[in-house]
Structure 1
Amino acid sequence: MSTMEDEWLWGWDPTPGIVSVWAEPDGRAFIWRRLPDTGALVREDVRFRPWLLLASLEDLAHLGGRLRPERDGPAPHRVTYEELEGPGALRFLVRADDGRALSTAVLQGASRRLGRTQNHLRDLPAEAVLVMPPEEQYLIASGRTYFRGLGFDALHRLQFDLETTGLDPDRDRIFLVALRAPDGHTEVLEIQGKDGDDDVEADLLQRLVDRIRALDPDVIENHNLHGFDLPFLARRAQRLGVPLALGRAGAPGLRQRPSARGASLGDTGNASPGARGAPGTREAPGQEGAWRSPDRQRRSRYTVPGRELIDTMDAVMRHDFSARDLPGHGLKAVARHFGLAGPDRELITGARVHQVFRTDPERVRRYACDDVKEAAGLAHLLGGAAFALARMAPRRYERLADAGPATGVLDPLLVRAYLRAGAALPAHEPGDGTSHSGAALHLFATGVARRVVKADVASLYPSLMRQYRIGPKRDRLGALLALVERLVDQRLAAKSRARAAPPGSPERHTNEALSAAMKIVVNSAYGYLGAVGLTRFSDVHAANEVTRRGREVLGLLCRELAARGVTLLEADTDGVYFAVPEGWGEPDERRVVAEVGALLPSRVQLEFEGRYAAMLSHEPKNYALQPYEGPLVLRGVAFRSSRAEPFGEDFLRRALRCLLAGDIPGVREAYVASVTALRRREIPTRDVTARVRLTKPSAQYLATRARRRELPYEAVLASGRTRWEIGERVRVYRATGGRAGLLPDPEAAEGEPESAVGASTSASARAACDPRDYDVDYYARLLRETFAARLARALAPEDFIAVFDDPEQPSLFAPSLAHARPILTIVQEPQQAEIAVPAETSPSVQGAGSPTGL
């Protein structure tokens, strides 16, 4: 028998198999379901009553007799209201048969009250109104959620990938599309006729639409789907007059929804003219667009009725935010990292795909099919968390895939909980000026340690919230704590079921995904508390009490570990790294962790997470680990940064392997080899580039250029472009003579290793793609002053000088490195570790040291 708290977490309507929900502001809802027993697809068309939450009925008073209590029942053209219980500001739940009419009524009243026209509900204060998209209104009111009774593999998923002649949809074209059908079969659609002809490309797009409709997937996926494929497809379809009838209902065309990450979309495009979303929150008719002015910052994603559009980039970024173990976010880099790329994986530089297609089309077909296979593998490997979240939160699956766990998951859950309980909701409130105290973070030693153990504090802050019943003051139902309680308990049950299931089985995958999703939400609860003004139940005082308790626990943990003879290295809310004495084995390490864990509060669990042969402790949360078996593990922006030049990171990996093995002469050899390769220009130009994000509009930069020049923008200008898109990422480098250079972004183009270019490319073509005109002296200095400097804490000063001495100008009195060894320096004793330090501790770890000025 379900409890009220279970209904808050899972909803209460048991309808199984929902794979997509689409609702319109006029009260129509369309639900597509896969019947769990047969897999057949059915569609339900239902009516629901759109609703808003208001702080007052003042803006509806002008309706007179058409505004009636909910107990009187609905009637045509009537707006009903229900006053919710409790002290919350948003206490009037108002409903109508048509959400647009309801929105119009509120805006008319607000305009009269304020003496100026109000065009959108989003323009009214957040403390006065709460409006949600139609699907969320429907799901919250009905108690339904996605995917009840379905496993991840029960969904019909299709992946498609475009191959284009370039990256500009106003100039370039689509010449090939690879698809992977729900049954795993791959196929290729390509132009049939003269390359560059409008009718030929239009025919390809129409065949793509027809094929997707014939395969009828529940989900459409690709890597960077919302950043490239859909915006490019929409723009080309608009220019060619091809209706994109990709949905299961409604007029042809893609719709828009706002999103933090996606394409910069314009005011016209291949989109259905119908408005989408809650009244006043989605685009007005005629504004669902495609490409937009580069200087405008609003971003959007596309959506269609009846299908969920999933970008695997979201799952990759969510994984890397916590694991910090990916070499990049591009499909090929991630596929290689996870072992999804086969040994015969076809590779072609992105900029050369169209050129290769003209001479060797079969090679491009293999390349494109490999792309969709890897996208499917990535979706299966990392996409389970979003799938599991959709079983809980009353939002569309595709929105949960790119949602933040606080406002994107917890907020809808809490709104549903309060409305289910008939309770008034508090409005967002600013803080009272109390600052948010930093989390506990201690660096005890720097340099190289051996025989290292990681003891993990499992979900410390949520555990402390549970242990000491710390929740937001304005959450009078205790809903946040109740959700955390249920999630923690049910996560443990899901982990147990996953362990019991056979490896690789659907049961194991489903339960692992459920556990991962619950962990995401549980760990966001503390952040939700501390996000003053951003979340409905934020409470800085409660958040500070959690951090205070956390500092107490971490202090106790560190002191007790030190008392048992270990050397502390680093400690924070995720756990503690420490080195054990020589002669200890794994049983001794586990015994110490168990002994100390028994001293902690009952709901705080200390777990033995791993053991390593050596660790370089550089700065807080910046370290390198060498497992007893397996590849090097790097953490923190000092060792992994999207801005860092690849040649420097490659040097660091080679040098770190030697350093952690105690081979100081090997570190010297790695440095000399890198400097020599630079001076001989053996390093490809792209390996000295920094990947940077353009944040200034072109007009703004050009207006200030005379006073200060910046490398990224100068590089773009030098390439012949005078306009760029805010948020665009470019690969830039410092060329000879102080010039700025620009290369195509390998992550955007999904290029292959240098050795894979192939003999078919002429020397002149290779030179055009790789000029190797970089400033050698500058990059040699960067190697020593930025990358090599990250090893300084592991070497005695005289050894550091000797290791990184200029190979062409060696010192006459350089000491021998034959007997040099890494060092470890104690910088703080456990008894001193009582002051919280903000996570952003040192300016030197905030970036990779790459220049941005000229």
Structure 2
Amino acid sequence: MWGWDTTPGIVSVWAEPDGRAFVWKRQPGTSARLREDARYRPWLLLASLQDLEHLGPSLQPESASHAPGSVTFRELEGPGALRYRVSADDGRALGASVLRGASSRLGQRVGHLRDLGPHAVLVLPPEEQYLVATGRTYFRDLVFDDLRRLQFDLETTGLDPATDRIFLVALRDPEGRTETLEVTADGDAGEADLLRRLVARIREADPDVVENHNLHGFDLPFLDQRAKRLNVSLALGRAGLPGLRHRPSARGAALGRGPGGREADAMRRARYTVPGREFIDTLDAVRRHDFSARDLPGHGLKAVARHLGLAGPERELIPGARVYEVFQKDPERVRRYARDDVTEAAGLAHLMGGAAFALARMAPRRYERLADAGPATGVLDPLLVRAYLREGAALPAHESGDGTSHSGAALHLFATGVAHHVVKADVASLYPSLMRQYRIGPKRDRLNVLLALVDRLVDQRLDAKAKAKKAPPGSPERHTHEALSAAMKIVINSAYGYMGAGGLTRFSDVHAANEVTRHGREVLGLLCRELAGRGVTLLEADTDGVYFSVPEAWTEIDERRVVSEVAALLPPRVRLEFDGRYASMLSHEPKNYALQPYAGPLLLRGVAFRSSRAERYGEDFLRRALQHLLSGNVRAVRDTYVDTVMALRRRQVPTFEVTAQVRLTKSPAQYLATRKQRRELSYEALLTNGREHWALGERVRIYRATGGRAGLLLEPDAEEGEPAARLAVGAPAGDDRRDYDVEYYVRLLKDTFAARMARGLTAEDFATVFADPDQPSLFTPSLAESRPVLTVVREPRGPEFGEATANPDIVP
């Protein structure tokens, strides 16, 4: 799991297809850095040697002595389809030989190895070939704080590198010192000088890691394009030719154009990379965290930093679209603003970057690739491939399966509305635990590598959690163990999904995944039945745990006792833990609920309550109204609604608060081709405001303006969730036209946001609470005695819960 080469302190690996590898190492506990130049034989896996037969005597068994320039092969053992490991001194020549043979065999030109399909070939990036072959991994014997980390952030006059400029760069060096670099002359010469000074400072600081928030989405692509236009050499790497290189990525910069460019290269997305340093985008860690926790107010740096307590009380805030304008009048304010940005980016990277750091100690991939990799194909697959090749075993190819569908996980909604005295019992890693309990793994994994990985990861995660609790809060030891635990949890919980992803993973096995699901349903049924039998009111249950309401007289001791009693009835490897208690909960839909802790802020879960597209004014209303609803104050919910409606009608709500952030999925040509049949607000907003070109994947803020017009607000950067107000396009600085369609947003408030509370009120109370304040009724009921309601919609009975019914067609 950790590789077999014990070389300590590797902080970066770069390999070239010609067989050269460069390894940068840092001596643990010191600032000393060494570079090792090595040779390796580039390799790939083939299902057949047919496409290399044209080599004749130059194709030789690996065990035989061979002449320089020859291609060697080794037949791997077992029934796997990818059974020939072929290697050569030069990877490009090896790939060209395979393509030449394949083109001859197929009677048509084959331009890339991937065109042969995953059933015929497996080819890894050069660094991964090197790491798999040598058994090396990053960061052995290092802790996160041993890394030399640098953060930089660009301030630009606008968003389009074709026309806008970089006028300031904030930089935080590995010792924690912050500074700003600024243009000292007008025009190209001043900006070019700024970029050269930035490159010199980075090389002087010599970081192992370069970090920022939205680094790959904005800073690096903008820097790259400005440098090319100004003919400035970006010598940011530790070896090789100057300039940024690219690697394919599902998320990253769309190459070949700026935010306003044409769509020619819109589908080609890439990340930037250089030899010897790792580029880490903290936006990846934020997205990964929020995918599971769903507790962040947005994904933008300032919103996340404030939420996590990383932003100081004196944090300088400037609306993004006005930064350059403010700089011209008050440069010191912008300097503070920019220095705060890199300070917060450093804190965010330290807080959330530990999981990727720990993964890099296990998986044979570059650290920067693991930071944005999915846990299944990005982490588990490299571990499985390395294990099989280490054993000399043939690998299976991807298979589409036999048509069997993957049965979904159990999910039960027992009650909707407002419940009080709520407890959550957590089922810790249910599916991986069931895989271990019943020894369920993919059929084609004949070495049982996946089960072995899950076994060891679970045991070592528990050990890491225990060590983290014993270490002093805030200490490097605690941070390291917590990061290791988080990384292992990511990989453990992806094992079940890896099996169920038919055709998408190498060892997918939908039958094994369905067997795990079946056991999961049995366990969840037992769990719900036993809890209900102990006098609680079940609210919601799924494979992550169960929410239930307890009698008012119960204490926390009673709550913990019930959880412990039920935990004792579960299979040995399945652990049920007391995971929290709350004053109240609004159960809206499965996995969509609001929780009010006994102390602390309101917690919202699920897309019904949290969405990147939701208008801010509605989210703000919903959060305030929910707090009143959960406390039982229905009249205050009404007051909150009236206040929000009147603020809209008086246009006291800033335009930004009614905008929705949308992601553009159609190119200009695609939209114009269908515009006559169906007009869409997001694209109409762009066209109406003079935007004829945009990028696939670009995010814009739109709103419905008066007279049926489509409104567009200027975004200051590419990251999500920034709280600062924006300026209407074309409006002078400081102007907010507030030309939104008031009555549309009043209707949206009721039909979309207020509707989330419908299950917590009687139909009569809901109609009264959300009646139009400008249309009073003579017979409006009083809300003085109104209280939230809870409705039981299902009981834990029937076959799903281990209980037979008199009529198998009727579940009471």
Bin the TM-score by the shorter chain: over 0.9
CA distance in 2, matches of 1:226, 1:267: 14
CA distance in 1, matches of 2:238, 2:704: 51
Relative to structure 1, the CA distance from residue 788 to residue 750 in structure 2 (aligned partners, 3 Å threshold; closer, same or farther) is closer
1:786 aligns with 2:752: yes
Match for residue 611 of structure 1?
Answer: 581
CA distance in 1, matches of 2:200, 2:244: 15
Match for residue 287 of structure 1?
Answer: none
Q: How many residue pairs align between the two structures?
A: 800
Give the RMSD, CA atoms, in angstroms: 1.8
**Contact 2:159/2:717 (8 A) holds in 1:** no
1:36 aligns with 2:28: yes
1:567 aligns with 2:537: yes
Where 2:462 maps in the other structure, the secondary structure is helix
**Contact 2:320/2:717 (8 A) holds in 1:** no
Moved more, 611-620 or 295-304: 295-304
CA distance in 2, matches of 1:835, 1:118: 56
Where 2:63 maps in the other structure, the secondary structure is helix
CA distance in 1, matches of 2:408, 2:210: 41
Please list the CA deviations of residues 28-60 of structure 1 after superposition, one character each: whole Å capped at 9, or x if unmatched: 000000011433000000000000100011111
1:111 aligns with 2:81: no
1:628 to 598, 604, 611: 598
1:263 aligns with 2:253: yes
Match for residue 509 of structure 2?
Answer: 539
Where 1:613 maps in the other structure, the secondary structure is strand
Moved more, 508-517 or 291-300: 291-300
Match for residue 808 of structure 2?
Answer: none
Aligned AA (2:7): T
1:125 to 81, 99, 117: 117
CA distance in 2, matches of 1:750, 1:172: 21
Deviation at 1:599, TM superposition (A): 0.2
Q: TM-score normalised to the size of structure 1?
A: 0.92
Deviation at 1:706, TM superposition (A): 1.3
Q: Which runs of 4+ in 1 moved over 4 A?
A: 749-757, 764-769
**Contact 1:265/1:292 (8 A) holds in 2:** no
Where 1:150 maps in the other structure, the secondary structure is coil
1:246 to 204, 216, 236: 236
1:404 to 374, 388, 396: 374
Match for residue 645 of structure 2?
Answer: 675
2:764 to 798, 822, 843: 798
2:467 to 497, 509, 522: 497
Aligned AA (2:241): A
Match for residue 349 of structure 2?
Answer: 379
1:660 aligns with 2:620: no
CA distance in 2, matches of 1:109, 1:25: 20
1:209 aligns with 2:175: no
CA distance in 2, matches of 1:312, 1:158: 13
2:145 to 153, 162, 184: 153
Matches within 5 A, 1:161-240: 161-194=153-186, 197-240=187-230
1:826 to 792, 795, 803: 792
Which ranges of structure 1 fall in alignment gaps of 5 or more residues? 1-8, 269-289, 837-854
Deviation at 1:748, TM superposition (A): 3.6
CA distance in 2, matches of 1:336, 1:37: 32
Aligned AA (2:430): L
CA distance in 2, matches of 1:647, 1:785: 14
Deviation at 1:767, TM superposition (A): 7.5
Relative to structure 1, the CA distance from residue 432 to residue 87 in structure 2 (aligned partners, 3 Å threshold; closer, same or farther) is same
CA distance in 2, matches of 1:685, 1:756: 8
Matches within 5 A, 1:841-852: none
**Contact 1:223/1:312 (8 A) holds in 2:** yes
Matches within 5 A, 1:40-51: 40-51=32-43
Please list the CA deviations of residues 622-672 of structure 1 after superposition, one character each: whole Å capped at 9, or x if unmatched: 000000000000000110000101000000000000000000000000000
Match for residue 842 of structure 1?
Answer: none
Where 1:629 maps in the other structure, the secondary structure is coil
CA distance in 1, matches of 2:127, 2:261: 26
Matches within 5 A, 1:47-126: 47-126=39-118
Aligned AA (2:479): H
CA distance in 1, matches of 2:68, 2:676: 65
1:550 to 520, 540, 556: 520
**Contact 2:218/2:717 (8 A) holds in 1:** no
Which ranges of structure 2 fall in alignment gaps of 5 or more residues? 803-812
1:485 to 450, 455, 462: 455
Deviation at 1:480, TM superposition (A): 0.3
Deviation at 1:751, TM superposition (A): 9.2
Matches within 5 A, 1:265-284: 265-266=255-256
Matches within 5 A, 1:325-404: 325-404=295-374
**Contact 1:694/1:725 (8 A) holds in 2:** yes
Aligned AA (1:581): P
Deviation at 1:77, TM superposition (A): 1.0
CA distance in 1, matches of 2:741, 2:799: 45
Deviation at 1:697, TM superposition (A): 1.1
**Contact 1:162/1:229 (8 A) holds in 2:** yes
Relative to structure 1, the CA distance from residue 525 to residue 755 in structure 2 (aligned partners, 3 Å threshold; closer, same or farther) is closer
Match for residue 724 of structure 1?
Answer: 694
Please list the CA deviations of residues 52-79 of structure 1 after superposition, one character each: whole Å capped at 9, or x if unmatched: 1000111111111111111014431111
Where 2:396 maps in the other structure, the secondary structure is coil
CA distance in 2, matches of 1:227, 1:753: 19
Relative to structure 1, the CA distance from residue 661 to residue 37 in structure 2 (aligned partners, 3 Å threshold; closer, same or farther) is closer
CA distance in 2, matches of 1:406, 1:583: 46
Deviation at 1:704, TM superposition (A): 1.3
**Contact 2:284/2:371 (8 A) holds in 1:** yes
1:429 to 388, 391, 399: 399
CA distance in 2, matches of 1:427, 1:772: 58
CA distance in 1, matches of 2:720, 2:283: 13
Matches within 5 A, 1:570-589: 570-589=540-559
**Contact 2:255/2:265 (8 A) holds in 1:** no
Relative to structure 1, the CA distance from residue 216 to residue 767 in structure 2 (aligned partners, 3 Å threshold; closer, same or farther) is closer
Match for residue 684 of structure 1?
Answer: 654
Where 1:707 maps in the other structure, the secondary structure is coil
Where 1:188 maps in the other structure, the secondary structure is strand
**Contact 1:347/1:756 (8 A) holds in 2:** no
Relative to structure 1, the CA distance from residue 754 to residue 467 in structure 2 (aligned partners, 3 Å threshold; closer, same or farther) is closer
CA distance in 2, matches of 1:493, 1:625: 31
Deviation at 1:834, TM superposition (A): 2.2
CA distance in 2, matches of 1:755, 1:724: 22
Aligned AA (1:140): V
Please list the CA deviations of residues 112-163 of structure 1 after superposition, one character each: whole Å capped at 9, or x if unmatched: 1001111110111211110000000000000000000000000000000000
Alignment identity in percent?
Answer: 76
Aligned AA (1:547): T
**Contact 1:147/1:390 (8 A) holds in 2:** yes
Please list the CA deviations of residues 738-764 of structure 1 after superposition, one character each: whole Å capped at 9, or x if unmatched: 11000123664789766999xxxx9x9
**Contact 2:656/2:725 (8 A) holds in 1:** no
Deviation at 1:296, TM superposition (A): 2.2
Moved more, 388-397 or 719-728: 719-728
**Contact 1:219/1:310 (8 A) holds in 2:** yes
Moved more, 72-81 or 26-35: 72-81
CA distance in 2, matches of 1:130, 1:756: 48
Aligned AA (2:556): E
Relative to structure 1, the CA distance from residue 755 to residue 122 in structure 2 (aligned partners, 3 Å threshold; closer, same or farther) is closer
Match for residue 774 of structure 1?
Answer: 740
**Contact 2:321/2:715 (8 A) holds in 1:** no
**Contact 2:151/2:342 (8 A) holds in 1:** yes
Deviation at 1:771, TM superposition (A): 1.3
Aligned AA (2:155): E
Deviation at 1:367, TM superposition (A): 0.4
Please list the CA deviations of residues 574-620 of structure 1 after superposition, one character each: whole Å capped at 9, or x if unmatched: 00000001100000000000000000000000000000000000000
CA distance in 2, matches of 1:45, 1:185: 32
Please list the CA deviations of residues 672-709 of structure 1 after superposition, one character each: whole Å capped at 9, or x if unmatched: 00000000000000100111111111101111111111
Where 2:272 maps in the other structure, the secondary structure is strand
**Contact 2:299/2:720 (8 A) holds in 1:** no
